[in-house]
Amino acid sequence: MVACAGMATVSGGALGESSPFEATQDALFGGSLVLFQPLRGAGYRTNVDALLLAWFAATPAPVPVEPGVRQLRSVHPPASTAFDLGAGVGAVGLALLRFGAARRVVLVEIDEQPAAMARRNLDANGWADRGEVVRGDVRDVARSRRGEASLVVCNPPYTTPGRGQVRPAESLARSGELGRFVHAARQVAGKRARVCFVYRAQELGALLANLADEGLHAKRMRFVHAAPEAPARVVLVEAQAGRPGGLFVYPPLVERDAHGYSPEMESLLAR
């Protein structure tokens, strides 16, 4: 994963009297969204993959206009309730609110530090009445909130426990079993809910297999490349329960070209 482009530290220091954790106060989308998150090296910080996931979930879905032909909807109706599993400080859920892709978000996070910052971020952006932070394991939360979501988003850890090395302060955010997040997504998702994941492109097979095991089938997909000639870095996948088939694969998203950020990435980061 890469550092979150377009995110500038506007001030540092303590998070405030409402939290015992120190943080930086950062800004997204041209300063229109405030994001408190751990100091560098003191915990997991949001990266661009979170913004890509929120953008993908908010992207108009393709609909058939005639046999064999599809076009994009002009608007994507906002989800009544979106669940972000493994939400960290809440960047994905906050971006969904910022994009108008959800009326309400539920941020599920097991770690005390980012969960406290997620609550702070909802309040700082004036969305305390449109968001809820639930601290707990995604499996336990999903069992108790079964079928409540009309949209589920998840940026799960990319490292399987026992493989690779992670900093102790980031162990919960960077290391975890993909299957438990997919299972939790299936439980919390309503019958027609969309389930959106961002994951390492090299592990697409594992993601699709886990989704299929839960009766979730890919309906939209997009690969993200760091540069035009680079292999895909991550993949964005939307799945739904029901019959397999009907997969729509978008053209690849290239993050950087010879001039810096690609026009599409510039548009996303300034959105």
Model confidence pLDDT, tens digit, residues 37-78: 988 877 788 899 999 999 999 988 776 656 666 666 655 689
Identify the structural domains of the chain with CATH numbers, from first to last.
Answer: 8-60+72-270 (3.40.50.150)
Mean pLDDT across the chain, nearest whole number?
A: 85
- Predicted pLDDT of residue 14: 36
Three-state SS string over 142-166 comes to HHHCCCCEEEEEECCCCECCCCCCC
Residues 161 and 140: their CA atoms lie apart, in Å, by 19
Task: Please report, for residues 70, 116, 156, 205, the alpha-carbon distance to residue 136 in angstroms, rounded to integers and kept in the order given.
Answer: 40, 12, 15, 28
Question: pLDDT: is 107 or 15 the higher one?
Answer: 107
Flag whether pLDDT at 91 surpasses 70.
yes
83, 13 Cβ separation under 8 angstroms:
no
Residues 155 and 158: their CA atoms lie apart, in Å, by 8
Flag whether pLDDT at 269 surpasses 60.
yes
> Tens of pLDDT along 153-183?
999 998 775 555 545 544 454 446 999 999 9
Q: Tell me the percentage of the chain whose pLDDT exceeds 70.
A: 81
> Tens of pLDDT along 220-264?
999 999 999 999 999 999 999 988 888 999 999 999 998 899 999
List, in sequence order, the alpha helices (H) in 59-169.
91-99, 112-124, 138-144
- Predicted pLDDT of residue 176: 64
- Predicted pLDDT of residue 30: 84
199, 167 Cβ separation under 8 angstroms:
no
Terminal C-alpha separation, the chain: 21
194, 57 Cβ separation under 8 angstroms:
yes
